[in-house]
Chain A
């Protein structure tokens, strides 16, 4: 496990939202958001890599 620093006000908002949304803790909520955003960014990066490959092969403009 690693510890990260987070703005106090943002942490309070995260705690409040996590409770409302049914997360067991604000940490779980933050982990979920990080995981979701990283997956999205990685998928987008992979998509661009495939695009670069298809262009290199002459199949996309």
Chain B
């Protein structure tokens, strides 16, 4: 029996490591809510772990009960649409925004999307502002407990972070979680002295 009566939300910026986090949690024994609508590809060889209805969360949250006791991936922009009557434990994955931007660029170019032409400095500044707002919003929600998970540190020390995640989510298989982290999955790494987000 699943003892968790809350929804475990994996959040953050797209391409910040949220799929890796879902993979870790799944390996650790936490069921994940996914419909596999987005197949694995070169950008995420182990899969995206997404659930299509999440995209429509702003106009239909009726499915959220299905996520109780499970992990579901929800990008930071959509967190505010989560129904307030449920409890959430949010794992907010953070990654250097220059790396996030570079990884997004690859995906946008592969999709032939015009957003690949956006100005890097402007977008990163906007990301920083939006993440700050999301953090402040999360801190003010009485039904949400948030753990910030730095992507680079998880890759560097998966055993330690598997333990942290297990404590946050009431017990998971930490050995399996740590073993699921493949450093080769680190798509983009641009040296930078500070975590921007």
Q: Chain A: residues with CB nearer than 8 A to chain B?
A: 43, 46-47, 49-61
Report yes or no: A57 in contact with B125, Cβ–Cβ below 8 A.
no
Residues of A within 8 A of B126 (CB): 46-47, 49-50
Report yes or no: B127 in contact with A50, Cβ–Cβ below 8 A.
yes
Question: Which among B56, B78, B108, B129 is the interface contact of A53 at CB below 8 angstroms?
Answer: B108
Residues of A within 8 A of B122 (CB): 46, 49
Report yes or no: B130 in contact with A56, Cβ–Cβ below 8 A.
no
Known A43-B129, A52-B115; contact A57-B123, beta-carbon cutoff 8 A: no
Q: Is B4 part of the contact surface with A, judged by Cβ < 8 Å?
A: no
Chain A: which residue is nearest B48 at the CB level? A58
Report yes or no: B107 in contact with A54, Cβ–Cβ below 8 A.
no
Residues of B within 8 A of A52 (CB): 115, 118
Q: Which of A43, A55, A56 has the most CB of B within 10 A?
A: A56
Q: What's the Cα separation between A52 and B116 when bound, in Å?
A: 10
Known A54-B75, A60-B55; contact A46-B125, beta-carbon cutoff 8 A: yes
Q: What's the Cα separation between A7 and B112 when bound, in Å?
A: 48
Report yes or no: A49 in contact with B129, Cβ–Cβ below 8 A.
no
